[in-house]
Structure 1
Amino acid sequence: MLSTYIELLQTLQNLYFDHFPLMYKLPFEIRRTKGNGIRLSKVKRRNDRVVSLFPAFIFASAVFLFIVATRLRTPLVARPMGDAKMWGWFVLGIACFSGLVFYTLWMLVYQSDAIFMCNEIFRWEEELRKDSSQTKHIPVKATLLEKTVLLGFKLLVWMYYFVTPIDAAVTTFLTVDPLLPFFEFVLNMIPQLRKLLLFFAFNSEALFYFAMFLVRVGCVTVFLYEGFRLAAFCIGLTILIGKVVVSYLSSVSRLTDTFQENIIQHGLWSHLKIYKVLPIIFQSLEAPMKSTASLAIVAGTVAVSGCTFVVIKLHAVNDVYMTGFCLGVSVSAVILTKIILDTLANLDETSVKVLLQFRRLEILQKMGEPERKIYLKELYYLKPIAIPVGLGTARFSRITNNVKTTILMFMLENSINLLLAF
């Protein structure tokens, strides 16, 4: 099953890394090893520091433009809360801010740590899978929903790559982009700039506005490409790592069954040491994990509730394209949130089962009293694997099955409350 996710990420990399229209890559990528494994590796680029800041600049500029465009449009509409375009800018602004934080945390600040720790997980999982290949192996199967979404997402990656320039042109033509109000504001504030640009346009208003249209299309195209590839890569990598960790734990469980007699008779407690690797890795990346999880929950809630409000409450005054766009965002956000939460909650569920397996009575009863005490003492300090949710030094919760349900209910409740409030 892991090969399906890897193939999807490689398709994404082939299009949006190796054949990206702007000819630059994100700071790291996935590569195949000789043993058919995978590793994260840092991308070697010219002017690496400058190029690394370019995606962050795009997202920061997008947040600024959405805020300015919303501020400029507010006095022009009778009911700002009923304006679908402003709702769209608000949702996209939150998404861009989240993308800026995610990119800064994982691809700039914690880049080296993330690459090293992920590679350790990949390496250990690969070795454990090989060691347990001679045991009775029950492969981890993808659910029907996951298979359907993976196939749809693979088609979406190919389709989006080719139609992005067309989408950018249509979006710009429909004046949905925030660049037009910003450009008009700047030109009205600086008349000399308008005269200078008109001079270069041979004093032709038509040529001037056509050139402005082309600039807007170019900017929107760059934003759509960058936003899609970062979101797709981060979501795909998150799901892949979750599946790899589950495979890691499953291999530990099978090896524990296989070498149970050695554990009892000779005190070979390698299974405990192997399990300890995961808590150490997750603890070392706890700070960015907490912030990322918290912001992702907020951004997902805003996207679902905001777009649902536009579809249900404002469909009568909306253009068809705006209603369709918001409906697509809302449905996609719910499906992806469900898949990601299922994957992350499965870490806790699987690790709890593995720890319970370590405490099985048949293992403990056959041990001598001294060995049992040492074994239980070692086992006492092992905790389940779960993604923390928090901010800074504070930890609010951990993503478990119960918390997963709470998060989904939180999104539903906020959507209903927003519909009832207006």
Structure 2
Amino acid sequence: EAGCIPLLVSNTPEVCMCWETFNNVTGRTNNPYDPRRTPGGSSGGEAALLGAGASVIGLASDIGGSGRLPALYCGVYGHKPTPGYIGIDGHIPVSEDESWGNFFSIAPMCRYAEDLPLYLHSISDPTKRENLRLKQPVDLKTVKIFYIEEDPSILADRVHPEIKTSMRKAVAHFANKFNVIAQEIKIKELEEVYQVAGVVMLRMKSCNSVYQKTEDNPAEWNSVLWTYIKYIFGFTEHTHPPLIYGPIKKYADSISEKEFSEMLELKRTLMQKFDEMLGDDGVFLYPTFNDLANFHQQFYYKLLNTSYFTLFNLIELPACSCPTGLAKDGRPVGFQVAANKHQDRLVFAVAKELESAFGGWVPPPSIPPQEKEAAPNPKQALDKVTIQG
């Protein structure tokens, strides 16, 4: 009804349970900027198509950065909206837990920032979307900007210097053009987001997984140990990433009620702090991830950095990964812009200004990096011919 023409269903990891994109049916998706690298996951197929210029908008999902990490890796926009505005019926995996919709969102992806408000308006619930005021203009001179350059947790790795540089350029741009002075802040509770986000979300009722005995009952599982034994000896068609859900789900369920209550209290504290800080006129700049697109299979070494994007699932705020150009080695660079609940329009306004200032999506190279490296230097080739002559 809104005029879009669906092209295809893009590739995802098995049961959407991986931050890279591969499965045993359709294989592995490559990054359009460097095929040696991953597009991220779980919505990696969608991001790769957008980054390659093969589509204009895409539909992703996001319960742990699945719509924002691929957007960073492929140089496009990936927005996790305020929960509750887009219907989630029909998505797999799904959980019957009443809090599922607080953490999980359908996530619009776009090549161009100006498409974000129109896209969200088109797919959001008609009875609710007026609360987002997406058509109401935003005066960027009145927007407050807060930022943090690195996750304060001792578990997290350092942020790539070009991500930091892009954030600092954005801060300087808003100061120079709008006289908006960004405030660098510290929030101690962020140190525990990695552990808390994982446990709180994993404590929900089981979602669809490779362990369920029947299609209709995700809660009734086969043995985790036996499933792993079959995998080790090659008696299963499943890939490894969705198997990891089993032991970490068991671990989360084993957390004592006292410890779990403390985690929920930290979640409430974080939500309150962000609510008071952002109000209805503030945005928060934060890295989407600590690094740029990694080589295939390398993400497993970076799992302790997932708190950069799971933070906004945990505290239920809208957040968009915004591209700000390419790094020196050709990989897309960007960071997240977040706002308070129902203030997605502030995120979009800042995203559009960043696009205007720094370029947004940049088409990938026509010659992949590994082919460039393998190609002979024309001058050297000519010299060889001359010498031989």
Which TM-score applies when normalising by structure 2?
A: 0.22
Q: Which has the larger strand fraction?
A: 2
Normalized per residue, which structure has more helix? 1
Larger Rg, first or second structure (1 or 2): 1
Q: Which has the higher contact order (CA 8 A, sep 6+)?
A: 2
TM-score of the aligned structures, taking structure 1 as reference length: 0.21
